[in-house]
A and B are shown apart, each in its own frame.
Chain A
Amino acid sequence: MISTTPIRSHEAAGGQFATANNSVNDAFSSVYYAEQNGGDVSALVEKLNTAVSLIQRAIAENVTDPNSATTDLSNATAIAQMVSLNSTSVSTSGSMARQLRLYGALGTVAATLGIATLTYLRGDRAYRRLWLYVYRNHVVEKNNE
């Protein structure tokens, strides 16, 4: 829960809350784009929610224990910055996986069309050759009429 109560001087400064909030939102934007690029962001979302929980805890404990609140805000900011950094590699691997899928699909299409064309053009000849090879030892006998 995020309170809207004004922050007193001995508590964690409003700037620290703003920094932590902005870090989480910036990290979220990175995660969002990483997902758009095909990356699996579930682990990043989990970490980001840890940062959100720390901010919420900092708000709750800000009046009674401002030092802990400051520590929680610092940790939340650090986690969010780490998520931002990691989302770059997740984004890159997502893009690569997407490209591989694209190339794989295009390769399958090209191979299928190639085999189909060959089968259409040379299928008869290949079938006859195969037939002759399979039945190369077959002896045709006359029917005893």
Chain B
Amino acid sequence: MNKQTATIILASITLLIVAAALTPLIPVRAPKYSELGILGPDGTAKGYPTIVAVDQSFLLYGFVGNHEGNVENYRLLVKLGNQTTVVNNATYANAPVLATFWRIVGENQTWTFPMNLSVNQAGNNTRIIFELWSYNVPASNFEYTGLWDHIWLNVTA
């Protein structure tokens, strides 16, 4: 082996070891996001109620996933809306809160929980809105994440 070849091999091995030593120190830039899902009474995405009586309890499941890169303090707000209620990724619904569910979820953890809900007023096209809020640590308050879902109900008297 001549001197030039030996130098190239030595430099390559050195670079490999240095790269392997420094790799764990480089932060991984993975996409950050939360997940929100509403599941039916059997815990799957089917069998959602469409007609319920006033004050009749019905079961749904909430699903929240945390991929924000840190622990999150979540609140799921269930609101009672109708056809005219405005809700989108930027605006939360200006509607009465039926229930709130609260949980601190670790990074890459999910939270699945039952929601026994009921509506105390009759009406067609009643909208049950689910909004995910999370705690903003620097601001010290809960903020709307922009994640929401809804189901439509006919609530009979």
Decide if A and B are genuine partners. yes
The residue in B24, B137, B140 that gathers the most chain A C-beta atoms within 10 A of its C-beta is B137
Convert A95-135 into 0s and 1s, putting 1 for each residue whose CB lies closer than 8 angstroms to a CB of B: 00000011001001100110010011001100000000000
**A45 pairs with B99, CB closer than 8 A:** no
Question: In the docked arrangement, what's the CA distance between A130 and B25, Å?
Answer: 38
**A28 pairs with B24, CB closer than 8 A:** no
**B106 pairs with A42, CB closer than 8 A:** yes
Stretch from B4-12, B41-49, B51-59 that touches the partner: B4-12
Q: Please count how many residues in chain B sit with their CB below 8 Å of the partner chain's CB atoms.
A: 33
**A102 pairs with B25, CB closer than 8 A:** yes
**A52 pairs with B106, CB closer than 8 A:** no
Q: Which single member of A4, A49, A113, A120 contacts B103 (CB below 8 Å)?
A: A49
- With contact pairs A42-B106, A101-B24 given, residues A116 and B73 touching in the complex (Cβ less than 8 Å): no
Nearest to B22 among chain A residues (CB) is A105
Stretch from A6-14, A31-39, A61-69, A136-144 that touches the partner: A31-39
Chain A residues contacting B3 (CB-CB under 8 Å) are: 124
Confirm or deny: B156 has a beta carbon within 8 angstroms of a beta carbon on chain A.
no
Question: In the docked arrangement, what's the CA distance between A46 and B49, Å?
Answer: 33
Q: Please count how many residues in chain A sit with their CB below 8 Å of the partner chain's CB atoms.
A: 32
**A45 pairs with B71, CB closer than 8 A:** yes
**A113 pairs with B102, CB closer than 8 A:** no
Task: Say how far B47's CB is from chain A's closest CB, in angstroms.
Answer: 22
Chain A residues contacting B7 (CB-CB under 8 Å) are: 120
Confirm or deny: A73 has a beta carbon within 8 angstroms of a beta carbon on chain B.
no
Convert B57-88 into 0s and 1s, putting 1 for each residue whose CB lies closer than 8 angstroms to a CB of A: 00000000000001101010000000000000
Confirm or deny: A48 has a beta carbon within 8 angstroms of a beta carbon on chain B.
yes
**A35 pairs with B71, CB closer than 8 A:** yes
Confirm or deny: B17 has a beta carbon within 8 angstroms of a beta carbon on chain A.
yes
Q: Can you list 6 residue pairs at the A/B interface with Cβ under 8 Å?
A: A1-B101, A2-B100, A2-B101, A42-B106, A112-B14, A116-B13
B residues lining the A interface (CB < 8 Å): 3, 6-7, 10-11, 13-14, 17-18, 21-22, 24-25, 70-71, 73, 75, 96-97, 99-107, 115-116, 135, 137, 140
